[in-house]
């Protein structure tokens, strides 16, 4: 009997038997699988799935910021049928929390809260490049977000 090299192989069966199949075929050297990426390189326009999540660093930093700010995080399943207003109100409430934390930071020294001064300070975050660089050092756009949050919430805090 001759041996015919196979390019691709699909194994179908009960999941609980997968380990047995791997042991019998791969470990016992019944066949020698090749890395599928080698085959993909020859197909124009086909790219392998990246194993590293490009958003993991940003997600990790977001979790740290939420912990520092005392904002509880919880998984909520995404319902694609949800109206966009639900998402807008959620992010609006987050911006309100951030503006309130910023207000609290401003009054830690015992100063009386003044919405106009709060608004003016937040405006500096985007008008002075030194402030912008400081606030955007970890998350680009943070200075603009903070300014918008304060402008939205300063009068109601």
pTM here?
0.49
Rounded to an integer, what distance in angstroms lies between the CA atom of residue 49 and that of residue 130?
A: 39
The answer to whether the CB of 99 falls within 8 A of the CB of 152 is yes
Number of neighbours of residue 96 by Cβ within 10 angstroms: 15
H, E, C per residue of the chain: CCCCCCCCCCCCCCHHHHHHHHHHHHHCCCCCCCCHHHHHCCCCCCCCCCCCCCCHHHHHHHHHHHHHHCCCCCCCCCCCCCCHHHHHHHHHHHHHHHHHHHHHHHCCCCCCCCHHHHHHHHHHHHHCHHHHHHHCCCCCCHHHHHHHHHHHHHHHC
Q: For 55, what's the count of Cα atoms within 13 Å in the CB-facing half-sphere?
A: 3
pLDDT in tens, 72-112: 887 767 676 777 777 778 778 888 888 998 898 888 887 88
Token pair belonging to 63: 């979790």
Q: What is the pLDDT of residues 19-55, one digit of tens each?
A: 887 777 766 666 666 666 666 667 777 666 666 776 6
User: Do residues 150 and 128 touch, judged by C-beta distance below 8 A?
Assistant: no
Tokens 């699909």, located at residue: 10
The predicted-structure confidence for 117-133, as pLDDT tens digits, reads as follows 899 999 999 999 999 99
Mean pLDDT of 65-77: 76
């Amino acid at each position: 009997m001759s041996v015919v090299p196979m390019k691709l192989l699909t194994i179908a069966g009960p999941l609980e038997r997968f380990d047995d199949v791997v042991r019998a075929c791969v470990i016992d050297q019944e066949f020698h699988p090749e890395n599928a990426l080698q085959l993909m390189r020859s197909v124009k326009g086909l790219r392998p799935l990246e194993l590293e999540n490009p958003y993991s660093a940003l997600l990790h930093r977001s979790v740290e910021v939420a912990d520092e700010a005392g904002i509880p995080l919880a998984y909520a399943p995404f319902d694609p049928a949800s109206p966009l207003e639900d998402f807008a109100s959620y992010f609006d409430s987050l911006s309100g929390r951030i503006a309130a934390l910023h207000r609290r930071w401003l009054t830690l020294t015992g100063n009386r809260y003044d919405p106009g001064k709060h608004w003016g300070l937040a405006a500096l975050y985007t008008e002075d490049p030194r402030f912008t660089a400081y606030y955007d050092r970890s998350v680009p756009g943070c200075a603009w977000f903070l300014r918008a949050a304060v402008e939205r919430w300063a009068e109601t805090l």
